[in-house]
Structure 1
Amino acid sequence: MQSEHQGPFHCFRDDAMGEDDATALAARIRAGEVSALDVTKAAIERAEMAQAVINGMVATDYDRSLSLARSLTKPEAPFAGVPTFIKDNTDVQGLPTRHGSAAVPSNTASKTSPFAEQMLAQGYLCLGKSTLPEFGFNATTEPAHGAATRNPWNLQYSSGASSGGAAALVAAGVVPVAHANDGGGSIRIPAACCGLIGLKPTRGRVVDNEAAKTLPINIVSDGVVTRSVRDSAGFIAAADEYLRNPALPRVGHVQGPSGKQLRIGVVLDSVTGHKTDPKTRKTVEATARYLEKLGHIIEPMDVPIPASFPDDFALYWGLLAFGVKLQGRKLMHPQFDKRQVDGLTNGLESMFRKKLWKLPAALWRLKRSQQDYARHMSQYDAVLTPVLGQTTPPLGHLSPTVPFDQLFERLTRYVCFTPLANTTGAPAISVPMALTDAGLPVSVQFMARHGDERTLLELAYALEADHRLPLISNLGDRRYAGDVAVMV
């Protein structure tokens, strides 16, 4: 459905939710200042208001969330009573899981996936399922078979992907936090497009989803997108308590910036050879200057990957498409219809078939990337990069209806900084830092050593303190300091 509303759009209102983040909302519920039931009712009203404009939902579970809210008498979990959405590639018992594809028939999950159980154990109430592009392969949420998910900051632009529905719902104020997962940037990219915090955890930090267990290299991490650093910090602290991985250092509950001096490498251009666009470059440079003023050591850094990495990752991307088409009936639904997959999935599969002979060497190099990255990072506490090679594109630019060769070229120019964290398993975070002339957020990415989400959150807190973007509902109350947007 084509929305008549011209962005920005939001549904923040004077209701039980207000403009609270998840941390504040949970605290008010615990204190009895507001009931979980009133919060859930307010979120449902917002969801219905937003759906006609941004199209971020594919299924709802209002009755069950209302019932759970009514029964919540002792909200002890850290986010008890806070409404959320689960992405539609993750099972929730009683709801369909269609992976954003017309090839997957409508179905009802018989059980809740392990990660969804981990997230909901924090007290969140699931209102339904959020949109994604087919199988999470694209960097925009605009399926060939249905309506696009629109960016609340400017409705003519992409909300990113693959967790585009989650990011749009959070940015618009429907819920303060939503589930996202990331196999090549799918937490960080939509967070960047929609002005949110998007933390991709270290591999093994949270429960693996079932799809990840079948991959030759587990590139998928689950997490959330949020409007505040403290919500992301609260999520990862609770996740760390739920799953104690002895191979990783504990994160703990990070509650603010650290006073320690860090050595931070800066990468401005991708190993693909494509130059970062001027607005994105200026935003990264302005962030580096600010960090230097805070006392950190900032220096240029070589890209910690070989020149073969883009082609190797593209081949792995193609392997995933090949696997989906080959095993769709086993992995997703007995009536999976591969004839209905979109142009991007078909194009990736075709590309993979032509280059299949290169796979063994590519897999070897991708697996080795974890050691290569660790070696490069031995002298650094973090690395600062763009999230994306270009600012957020308008709807249609990355549509799966674009001829594959043209679309693939556009995607490789756009998604050129995020995949490294997926193959290496390193943690990475997207932090919004500026706005374009079209009113769209521009974000930066930090990556850290394996297991060091703490440093990423501390850096994000330091930036948020002085460079927080306004909520969409307060867009009239902003000014600019250099190239960085700051709250008045």
Structure 2
Amino acid sequence: MTQPLYALSAQDLLTQYAQGALSPVEVTRAVLDRIAQWEPHVQATYALDADAALAQARASEARWRAKAPQGRLDGVPVTLKENIRTRGVPTPMGSAATVLSPSPDDAPAAARLREAGAVIVSKTTMPDFGFLPAAASSFHPLTRNPWDLSRNTGGSSSGAGAAVAAGYGPLHLGTDIGGSVRIPAAFCGAVGLKPSQGRVPVDPPANARCIGPLTRTVRDAALLMREIAQPDARDYLSLPSADLPWLNLDLSVKGLRIGLWTDPGAAWSVDEPVLQAVLAAARVFEQAGAIVEPLAEWVAPEVRQGMTGFFCMRARVELAAMPPERAAKAARYYQQAAEYAARMTPEDSFRAFTLCQAMAESTVKATQPYDFVLSPVSAGLPFAADAIRSDKAHPGRDPHFTSVFNQSGQPAVSINCGYSPEGLPIGLQIAGRRFDDVGVLRMARFWEQASPVPTRWPEPPAA
């Protein structure tokens, strides 16, 4: 076996479990050993319980020996972002302002993974209330990027992104309300899918918030989606059951009409290494027969500012509901968002909501003529680990290319398309029409196979 156990794909693990060539126990031990190597440096985990993980693995081992696996992910290690509830574990939401109490039940995605037999190894970190495309948290230690410990993982699925890069097993779940799966995937070199709105149930339900996989391969992302994309009555926005061909990932791009969106139409520009990597990827699609056309920025600045106001008002409402002494424990950036919202009138709040709707409408209209849209995930490279954004003067720069697809409900995936001169990963975003989650994964799989970019992963610092 050429790959270490912790680095094997979920597909490879399942094949070898079925053949009796591997045990979930030895794989889980290998993942736990890998976490022990990396974790003092990256600090990506929360509520890690090695004994519980090994108990799940032993139960899975017994089922495989009896040739009676519980489900389609039996024995495969997985991590979940800490805001995805798991029974008996507190959900701090990344914030010291949260009252810690054990969760009474599993959230829908966690429940589906348990039913499928997956081994839940750990939860992963996030910033306060998932508010940042960065890792800083008032509750968790600072999570760092395994590619360069001085750099950020992105956020808000910060721990999940780091877990993929560091090799904490094959499957990881994050959440995404403005880029929170895709930005960490881009900064950490992973595959990260934001599904169509409603494809994966979220509890409590929320407009624009999605749950999606972060993995090392497109097929593993598809395997994870096959399990979690099931309706759940707790989410009134969840889509009805659909027998989608998640694992049929073959695609010819010949004749596809693809929009190429690289100009943000803003006072800032995309970093040159990012731009060149995305343009090079677009040429690969074009050489394979796709019709690639430039796509201009379609969202007016005042519309984006409206979305900012809407999410800042969320911060104000959440902190206002807490006793002042507890609200004061939240990260300063979250308090500042609430202070910004305090200056908004009721009319401003309603206008912010309608501007989010306007963003959704304009995004669908601009992208509808295309089968898919290519763009950067983030305009910049991973920034300093302790920073909250790449550009103080332009706070909307980091989620500029991602947030529009949350509002429109369209699926979008991040996949590595190159490296900066310093060796930092660069993410290519592939967005599709709403409900075409499989099509987006097929485009990512095409790139995965056609890409001239070498696949590599970081190693922990020497002891």
* TM-score, structure 1 as length reference: 0.85
Question: After superposition, where does 1:247-396 map in structure 2 within 5 Å?
Answer: 250=244, 252-328=246-322, 337-356=326-345, 357-396=347-386
Name 2:424's counterpart in structure 1: 440
Partners of 2:242 and 2:104 lie apart in 1 by 32
Letter in 1 for 2:328: R
Letter in 2 for 1:345: Y
Question: After superposition, where does 1:36-435 map in structure 2 within 5 Å?
Answer: 36-72=24-60, 73=63, 74-144=68-138, 147-210=141-204, 213=205, 215=206, 218-240=207-229, 245-246=239-240, 250=244, 252-328=246-322, 337-356=326-345, 357-398=347-388, 409-435=393-419
Partners of 1:209 and 1:27 lie apart in 2 by 33
TM-superposed deviation, 1:76: 4.7
Measured against aligned partners, the alpha-carbon deviations of 1:92-138 in whole angstroms (never above 9, x if no partner) come to 11212111111124332121112221233333211121111111111
TM-superposed deviation, 1:55: 0.4
Cα contact 2:219–2:247 (8 A) shared by 1: no
1:29 aligns with 2:17: yes
Partners of 1:386 and 1:303 lie apart in 2 by 13
Cα contact 1:88–1:132 (8 A) shared by 2: yes
Q: Which runs of 5+ in 2 are unaligned?
A: 233-237
Specify whether residues 83 and 263 from structure 1 end up closer, same or farther in structure 2 by C-alpha distance, changes over 3 A only.
same
Partners of 2:203 and 2:230 lie apart in 1 by 18
Letter in 2 for 1:472: W
Cα contact 1:254–1:457 (8 A) shared by 2: no
Name 1:479's counterpart in structure 2: none
Letter in 2 for 1:429: V
Specify whether residues 13 and 24 from structure 1 end up closer, same or farther in structure 2 by C-alpha distance, changes over 3 A only.
closer
Specify whether residues 469 and 181 from structure 1 end up closer, same or farther in structure 2 by C-alpha distance, changes over 3 A only.
farther
Partners of 1:450 and 1:69 lie apart in 2 by 37
Partners of 2:325 and 2:94 lie apart in 1 by 13
Specify whether residues 174 and 378 from structure 1 end up closer, same or farther in structure 2 by C-alpha distance, changes over 3 A only.
closer
Q: SS in structure 2 opposite 1:379?
A: coil
Bigger shift: residues 255-264 or 437-446: 255-264
Specify whether residues 242 and 80 from structure 1 end up closer, same or farther in structure 2 by C-alpha distance, changes over 3 A only.
farther
TM-superposed deviation, 1:259: 4.9
Letter in 2 for 1:179: L
TM-superposed deviation, 1:255: 2.6
Partners of 2:264 and 2:114 lie apart in 1 by 37
Cα contact 1:304–1:372 (8 A) shared by 2: yes
Partners of 1:87 and 1:145 lie apart in 2 by 14
State the number of aligned residues. 447
Letter in 2 for 1:19: A
Letter in 1 for 2:455: P
Bigger shift: residues 459-468 or 117-126: 117-126
TM-superposed deviation, 1:254: 2.9
Partners of 1:160 and 1:441 lie apart in 2 by 12
Specify whether residues 328 and 188 from structure 1 end up closer, same or farther in structure 2 by C-alpha distance, changes over 3 A only.
farther
Cα contact 2:391–2:397 (8 A) shared by 1: no
Measured against aligned partners, the alpha-carbon deviations of 1:48-92 in whole angstroms (never above 9, x if no partner) come to 222111101121122222222212212252221111111111211
Partners of 1:105 and 1:91 lie apart in 2 by 14
Partners of 2:127 and 2:196 lie apart in 1 by 24
Measured against aligned partners, the alpha-carbon deviations of 1:336-388 in whole angstroms (never above 9, x if no partner) come to 91111111101111111112331212212312433333322331101111111
Cα contact 2:127–2:135 (8 A) shared by 1: yes
Name 1:472's counterpart in structure 2: 457
CA RMSD of aligned residues (A): 2.5
TM-superposed deviation, 1:454: 1.9
Q: SS in structure 2 opposite 1:100?
A: coil
Cα contact 1:267–1:300 (8 A) shared by 2: yes
Partners of 2:340 and 2:258 lie apart in 1 by 37
Q: SS in structure 2 opposite 1:158?
A: coil
Name 2:235's counterpart in structure 1: none
Specify whether residues 390 and 14 from structure 1 end up closer, same or farther in structure 2 by C-alpha distance, changes over 3 A only.
closer
Give me the identity figure in percent.
27
Letter in 2 for 1:257: L
TM-superposed deviation, 1:456: 1.0
Partners of 1:371 and 1:143 lie apart in 2 by 33
1:452 aligns with 2:452: no
Cα contact 1:154–1:438 (8 A) shared by 2: no
Name 2:8's counterpart in structure 1: 20
Q: SS in structure 2 opposite 1:443?
A: strand
Bigger shift: residues 218-227 or 102-111: 102-111
Letter in 2 for 1:114: P
Q: SS in structure 1 opposite 2:193?
A: strand
Partners of 2:163 and 2:217 lie apart in 1 by 14
Name 1:5's counterpart in structure 2: none
